[in-house]
Every structure is written in structure tokens, then in C-alpha cells.
Amino acid sequence: MAGVSETDFEAWDVNLHGHRVIYRAAGSGPPVVLVHGMVNSSRHWREVALRLAESHTVIAPDLIGHGDSATPRGDYSIGAHAAAIRDLLVSIGVGPATFVGHSLGGGVAMQFFWQFPERVERLALVSSGGLGPEVRWMLRGAALPGAATAIRLAASRRALAALEAGGDWLKSRGSRRAGYLRAVVRAMRPLEQAGGREAFLGTLRSVIDFHGQRVSAVDRLYLLGPVPSLIVWGERDRTIPIEHGRRAHELIPGSSFVSLPRAAHFPHLEDPEGLSAALLDFIATTRPHSLTEAEWAELIASRTVRRRHLRAA
């Protein structure tokens, strides 16, 4: 990563609508926005961000209620997260960009596209949510009433200390899982506080219930046809099935699909080199395209069937 040091991925603080929002930025060039997943933060993008920053301006926000951003009582739907990202980008002067979303962040990135298509030049979905109902049982369980107590215990200082010790032991054994476990501990830290737990549950329950993912973008993936789209999935993913990615690839005209043999659900942590290479190749081999209002209307019309509604006498 010549030319970009680890200190370049520094945090910035913005006050939006009276709430603190943190984002990290690095590099210069065409903008790329990295949207993290649940119980993650902008910090987790570091290895990917520094690679992309050699040729791009990289922006990675902490979603409201996540990382070091504020945890207000309020709306934690994917639409609210998308609107907050739009306001952040406007406030720092970032226009149309390539968007990369991981897990929940993939759902947020797709929602951002539905709401603000003129601001999305390319879209990359990494082990994305919102593409089918199946999801790991732990997330379904966390959506149940009463789960707050279990989450409070799992994120307690004692439990996190035990996980941290486990990470140190794995590191001493030379295991690649050590970095992943340390990242989990870092991600869980905000859940020590009541506000962080409430924000996590609010976000989780907006997209998942006991039956699985209840928010789906499958019916409108055709809208991505004119926009360069990439789907990346870890071949060892047990949180969201890789079949979701393959099916989305079939439904998005002209999309590309890349699977990473070394990665599970967190390619940006488990195989940052492979993910970065896939993203850089995708950007280098596609032309940015932002949908105009006329193009959006044409796409909608192409799938709209209008019939006269006849009322019963």
C-alpha cells in the first residue's frame, strides 16, 4: 500500500441534526463510500480502505447508533440510515460516488440507491442483506422479545475480556481467526452502553424477525440494470447464504459476481486483499453511471402494468 499510511484513515466528527456522526476518510480521487454492517463500524474497513485510497477518495461513515456515532432514540430503519448518509455526504461535499455495502450495509446501500439514484455511480454488495429471507439463527434469536438481556450479558466487560483473551490465545497459535475475534470484541464494545444496545436492536428488528430477513430488495433489482453492479460473497459464509448473491446476480442485468474462497461473512476482515482486488478491478473496468429522473421513470414504466380498476356495483 505504497503512498498511503495507516494513519491516513483518520476519523472526522460532524454534527448532523444535533447528533454526532463519525466518518473516516483517506486518499484522493473518485469517491468510494464504504457502508459497514451490523455490530460493525468504519474501523473494520481499514485494510480495504487503505488499498482503495491509493487511487480513490474513500469515505466510511459510522452509521447512527454504531461505532462512535451518536445513539439517539429514533428511527433505525434502513431508509433512515440511507438518508443520514446522504446528509453526511452533502455536508462534506461528496457528490455521486461508488457505493460498497457489507451485510446490513448492503441493504442500506441498495436503499440509498432507491432513494437517491442520481448519487450512485456504481454499486457493490458484499455478503449483502436484503436478498432473501434466510439468515443465521443467532440474528433471528436476537430479534425476539427479551433478547436485550442476553445481549447485555454478552457485551458485558467480563464477557468481552474473555473473548479478548481468546483472541490473544489464537494469535499465539498463529491462527488467522485471532484478528477476526479481536474485531468482534471491538465491534461489541459499543453494546456495553444501553444506548448502543437499543440502537442495535432497533436496527436489527427493522430488517429481521424470528422467521428471518423481512426486508427484501429482490422485486426491484432490475432497476440496477443501467448502473454497474458487483456482488461479492465469501464462500464460507454461514450467516447469509451465498445463494442469495448468485440469485441477485441473475436478477441484476449486466452485474458481475465474485466469490472469495478464503472468506466467510466478513470478507473485509478475512480476505481484505481479495475483496480490494475485486473492487478495484470492478471500478477500473466499468464506467460510472448515475440514473437521471427520465431513465428512472423509463425503468419503472418498463415493469408497470396499469389496468382500470372496476368497482363492484
Give the residue numbers marked as catalytic: 103, 237, 265
Task: Give the C-alpha separation, 224 to 236, whole Å.
Answer: 27
Contact 36, 23 (CB under 8 A): no
Contact 104, 66 (CB under 8 A): no
CA 78 to centroid of chain Cα atoms: 10
CA 252 to centroid of chain Cα atoms: 19
Q: What is the DSSP letter of 261?
A: T
DSSP 168-183: HHHHHTT-THHHHHHH
Q: Which three cell numbers stand for residue 199?
A: 440502537
Task: Give the C-alpha separation, 130 to 38, whole Å.
Answer: 13
